[in-house]
Structure formats: structure tokens, C-alpha cells
Amino acid sequence: MEKKFLVFGNKILFSILTLLSVFLLLTLDSSLSSAADSSLPIRKAAVAGGFYPGSKPELENFVDTMLRQTTPPVIKGNIRGIIVPHAGYIYSGPVAAYAYKALKGQDIKTVIILSNSHTDWFSGISIYKEGSFETPLGLVEIDKAFAEKIMAASPKVIIERPSAHMREHTLEVQLPFLQRVLKNFKIVPLVFGNDDSALTTLLADALKKNIDDKTLIVASTDMSHYPPYDAASTADHQTIQAIQTGKAENLDATLKKLGGERVPNAETFLCGVSGVRTLLLVSQTLGFSNVHFLNYANSGDSFMGDKSRVVGYSSFAFTKSGESEADKPKPLSEENLLNNAEREELLAMARSTVESYVRTQKVPTLTPTSQTLQQKLGAFVTLNEYGQLRGCIGRFEPDIPLYEVISQMAIAAATQDPRFRPVSPDELGKLEYEISVLSPLRDIESADEIVIGKHGVTVSKGFHHGVFLPQVATETGWSKEEFLSELCSQKAGLPRNCWKDPSVKLQVFTAEVFSEEKK
């Protein structure tokens, strides 16, 4: 009996040893595999904790909050390219979020990220060929197969130069956004050592031969560097208009023109110009040249910004299949702005925004039902209390969607009009809301086209600008000549007869004024 038990026990022991051996072999094989994987280079995060939060929970919350607070226009078709800024998230993150939120739900497998080097200067283009980039959200794998195809196009120009990537923030800051909006994607990081149109043509040709409809090109760039707020905005909108044409030659011509205008304190107008030019060249050839301008701001718009010295930021999306005619908002003219439902929607937005902000210091999320309210128009919001003015603030610059202008100006009228103390919670039920929506600006050849009392007018020359609303002439009783002379001298700081100067730009607009019905 004892012998049988011993034999049985030996069988059990043998089985255990066999299982243990298999386990050890599997473990060894796994460790060898891990060791092989760990031999691939990992580009560590260089600006985590500086340009963006350094911990995973904080970073996830920060990026998700920016995405949640952003309402980009609805874009039809697959997005094949985006242009996004690359400054610290508190400055440029909200602008970048417009492009990244538009990417949600897109099936993208390879992301090519392009910029000009800010830390290493060399001839050619540096590609990070294999391994991964690390952020607090985890590792992002390099698409080695794609990278090798690009390198093969010109191995003496498209080179491995790790030093070009180690401290470069322009590509890194895009990764947390990509990690939050895409799944199962790989990247191909490319940095230009210098701006050379021959380099962009070479890379564009290589990309055109290898990308498919699941490839996204990201051009990482900021805009004007260090002019004062208004000068930066003026210059940047010229660059924006050039990009919107979808033509690289128009962008280069505009940047050359701006470079000759002696914009105060300007050092550059597009620091990632090579990546943007490459995207434009690829999009022109492959047909995804439908350019959607999404948002613009500059560092002066941040709560930490200095308006005397700013950097500009913009975001765009490129699609191949554009909106159908039925999806497009109606074209606006001086006589065709809003219908009754759209006016009521804007008034409701203004009221809900003020009431939310005054009570909670939070701006409500607004989602317009009409595509017309997505169009970029200037507007004023006026608050009255028992028939008396309680606040009025407006924005002439038509650079963000109308519904966002109304939200921002409603808060400003309630809390920032220097003539009045901020609105208190107990006043909310007493307020009456009035909105003035400004039509798109229209260039005119001469003052003969101006109708006093109907048209508001802007004059501009260089960095001198001035504007009067249509009602100014009615309220003052000025003649057309008095109206224009005061506009030149009071508002633009130009000679009183500047409106007669052919080099001065004259534009007109109308104001559509509407208010809540009296209770």
C-alpha cells in the first residue's frame, strides 16, 4: 500500500514539475520577447508638466474639458489633413481642440505629423523611423513600414536624426489630443531642419505615393510671433485667407508680402510653414483641397496673455468630399441675415448664457440648431433694465461663429462694460436683451455707394482701422461727409479726408437689430 502511494505521489510530482517547466519556458519566452521590444527606441515626453499637464488624470481631464467645450462646425466627408497650433495648452489648446474634436469617429490608422524644428537646425528632414513616443497617456507606436517607404524616396534628405526629436515640442503636444480622439493609430513624426520649398515638394511627392484614405496629415504651426494684439490679428487673417485658397503659392506670396510690411515686433508669421506647405501640395494633387477654417485666437485671448506681445493660433480641416449644397448654410447679404426662429434662438442663447454665468461663473454649452448661426459674423449684445441701458459690448471681427459671439458678448455686456457694475443675480429677471447682428463686410469703390443711416462703414490703411455703426449718423445728425471725416479722425487716427484717398480701404455693412418682446 505504501509502495503504491509512493508511485502515485511520484506521478503527481512529475506532473507538477512538467507544468512548472512549461510555465518557466513560457515566462522565459515572454521575457525574451519583452526584452526584444524594449530594444526599440522610446522617445520620452520632453514637455509634459510644462506645455501640458504631467500626470495622466490631469492630462485626460484637461484635454477632455477642452474638447467638451468646443463646438466645431459639422464637416461632411473624411478629414484627410488638419492644421493645428503647438503652444502650451492654456494658450493654444482651445484652438487645437476644434480640429481634434472634428476628428472624433474618423477611421484613421496612420498620422503623419509635420513641423519645422524649434530646437535643432540642419539640412533635410528628420524622421523618427521606429519605436514609440511616450506621453503621460501611454506609448504611441511609430508606423515603421510607412516611415521606411518615405525614407526610401530620398534617403540622403529624409534621414534619421534623433537629436531633432528629443526636445521638440511641436510634434509632442499633438499626441495627447490624438490619444483621446483616435483608436489604434500609429504615427510618422517628421521635422524639417530648415524651410526650403524643394524639401516640401520632395516630401509631398513621397507622401502622395503612399497615403490612403485612412492616413491623416497633421501640420503643426503657430502663426505670427510677437506683434501687438491687433497687428497680429490683422496679419494672421491674411495668412488664414491664403490657406483657405488651398494653394501653396498663395500662402508663400502672402507670407512674403507680410514680411515686407514691417509689422511691429514680428519675427515670423508661420513657424511651421514647411508642414503647412507640404499639406497644401498634397491636398492640391490628391483632391482633398476643401479647406474648412475652424477657429482663430492668439495668446492675448488667454487669461494669462499679454496683448502687447502675442502669438497667433488657428485650426483648419481638409476634406475630399465637401458639403452638399443642401447642407450649406444660406449665403448672407445685407438684406438676408436671419429669420425669426434664428433671432429667437440667439436671444435665448444670450439670456441663458448670462443667467448661467452670473449665477455659477460657468458658460453653458450651446449647440445651434441652424447652420446659419455657425457663420462668422460680428454682433453686439445690449442689456436694458426698466428701459435704461445696463450694458452693451460688441465684436466687429467676423472670425468666430455668430452663436459664440453672442455668448461671449452677452457675458461681456453683463460683467465687463466699464460704465456699469457687474449684473447681480437678483437683477436677472429684470433684464431685457437686444442683439445687433452685423452683415458681412463689403468692399466699395467710393463713398458714393454709402447710404447714411443704412450702412455702417470701416476705413483701413495699414494698421489704422476705424468703424462706425449705421445708427451713429442717425443719432448725431451728421451728413455723409461729417460722418466719414469723423470716422477717419476719431476712430482710425487718419487725416479727416482719408476717405477720399484711393489707397484707403472702404467697406460697408448693415446691422440687423432685434430684441425680446416686451412682457
Superfamily of domain 42-319: LigB-like (3.40.830.10)
- Backbone φ and ψ of 360, nearest 5°: -125, -10
CB 163: neighbour CB atoms within 10 A? 12
Q: pTM higher than 0.75, yes or no?
A: no
Cβ-contact 431, 423 below 8 angstroms? yes
Cα–Cα distance measured from residue 328 to residue 325, given in angstroms and rounded to the nearest whole number: 5
42-43 and 132-135: which strand pairing?
Answer: parallel
* Domain map (residue ranges) of the chain: 42-319, 340-440, 442-512
Angle CA 37–39–43, to nearest 5: 95
Cα–Cα distance measured from residue 117 to residue 115, given in angstroms and rounded to the nearest whole number: 6
In tens, the pLDDT along 324-350 reads: 444 444 545 555 578 888 899 999 999
- Copy the grid coordinates of residue 411: 457675458
- Copy the grid coordinates of residue 32: 525574451
Residue 20: predicted pLDDT: 40
Contacts of 331 (CB under 8 A, 6+ apart): none
CB 65: neighbour CB atoms within 10 A? 13
CB 42: neighbour CB atoms within 10 A? 11
Angle CA 375–377–378, to nearest 5: 155
**DSSP state letters, 455-472:** -EEEEEETTEEEEE-THH
The CA-atom distances, in angstroms, between 514 and each of 102, 343, 345, 407, 426 are: 33, 7, 12, 16, 25
Number of H helices, E strands in the chain: 15, 19
Cβ-contact 242, 250 below 8 angstroms? yes
Type of residue numbered 106: Q
Residue 13: predicted pLDDT: 40
Cα–Cα distance measured from residue 297 to residue 96, given in angstroms and rounded to the nearest whole number: 10
Contacts of 503 (CB under 8 A, 6+ apart): 461
Cβ-contact 94, 127 below 8 angstroms? no
CB 56: neighbour CB atoms within 10 A? 14
Could you please state the CATH topology (level 3) that the domain comprising 340-440 is classified under.
Answer: Glycoprotein, Type 4 Pilin (3.30.700)
**DSSP state letters, 324-391:** -TTTSPPPPBTTB---HHHHHHHHHHHHHHHHHHHHHS-PPP---SSGGGGSB--EEEEEEETTEEEE
Fill in the DSSP letter of residue 43: E
Collapsed DSSP state (helix, strand, coil) of residue 318: strand
Residue 4: predicted pLDDT: 40
379-385 and 388-395: which strand pairing?
Answer: antiparallel
Contacts of 238 (CB under 8 A, 6+ apart): 254, 257, 258
In tens, the pLDDT along 305-316 reads: 889 999 999 999
- Copy the grid coordinates of residue 433: 436683451
SS3 for 85-128 is CCCCHHHHHHHHHHHHHHHCCCCCCEEEEEEECCCCCCCCEEEC
**DSSP state letters, 394-433:** EE----SBHHHHHHHHHHHHHHT-TTSPPPPGGGGGGEEE
Residue 374: predicted pLDDT: 84
Q: Which of 221, 275, 232 is nearest to 86 (CA)?
A: 221
Type of residue numbered 77: G
Q: How much of the chain is helix, strand and coil, in % rounded to 5? A: 40, 20, 35
Could you please state the CATH topology (level 3) that the domain comprising 442-512 is classified under.
Answer: Dna Ligase; domain 1 (3.30.1490)
Which residues on neighbouring strands pair with residue 508, listed in sequence order? 442, 457
Q: Which residues of the chain have pLDDT under 70?
A: 1-38, 321-336, 517-519
Q: Which of 445, 391, 380 is nearest to 414 (CA)?
A: 391
Beta strand segments in 336-386, E: 379-385
